[in-house]
Amino acid sequence: METESSPIPIDEEIALEAADPTMEKLREMEISLTSLKMGIRKLIQNQGTLSKEIRNIEESLKDTWKDEMSSVPTKKQPPNCKECAGYHQAYDCPRISADQRFMNAVAAEICVNCNRRHPGVCRKRPLCDKKHLTIYH
């Protein structure tokens, strides 16, 4: 007499399946995947919200900057000339001779070709054929 193998009851099949380590790992991965999807959705929503907030802040800063710039009073330049206390640079003073301007520039270690401090040879092209500004004429 042959015994027929009877099918495994569903409850036992589910119990065996639940005990299978591969199935358990698969369920963990499904849970992780669902959690990741939700996290990505939240990130995308937050990114959109942050982008809108940044645009609003930028616009308000532009408006504030424009308001501040339009309300800034113009300041009167303080006297710069040490020779006559006039409202011009010492090298433009009408009271100083060209020779004295030249000597002041040399004493202050200022380039007589461009009237600035810099290392090395000056690259500015002179207006006359000599290496000095025309203010020294």
pLDDT surpassing 90 at residue 79: no
Residues contacting residue 122 through CB under 8 Å, at least 6 positions apart: 111, 113, 114, 131
Query: Which percentage of the chain shows pLDDT scores above 70?
Result: 67
pLDDT surpassing 70 at residue 8: no
Q: What is the average pLDDT value for the chain, to the nearest integer?
A: 78
Residues contacting residue 77 through CB under 8 Å, at least 6 positions apart: 87
The mean pLDDT value for 23-50 works out to: 92
Q: Are residues 80 and 135 in the same domain?
A: yes
Per residue in 81-94, pLDDT tens?
877 888 887 777 88
pTM (whole model) above 0.75: no
Q: What is the DSSP string of 66-132?
A: HHHHHHPPPPPPPP--TTT--SS-GGG-TTS-HHHHHHHHHHTT--TTTSS--SS---PPPSSSSSS
pLDDT surpassing 60 at residue 46: yes
The rounded distance, in Å, linking the Cα atoms of 113 and 136 is 9
Q: Are residues 80 and 137 in the same domain?
A: yes
Range of the domain at 88: 75-137
How many structural domains does the chain have? Answer: 2
Residue 4 maps to a domain: no
> Which segment of 3-12, 45-54, 83-92 scores lowest on mean pLDDT?
3-12
The rounded distance, in Å, linking the Cα atoms of 84 and 90 is 8
Q: Are residues 62 and 99 in the same domain?
A: no
Q: Are residues 53 and 96 in the same domain?
A: no
Q: Are residues 82 and 59 in the same domain?
A: no
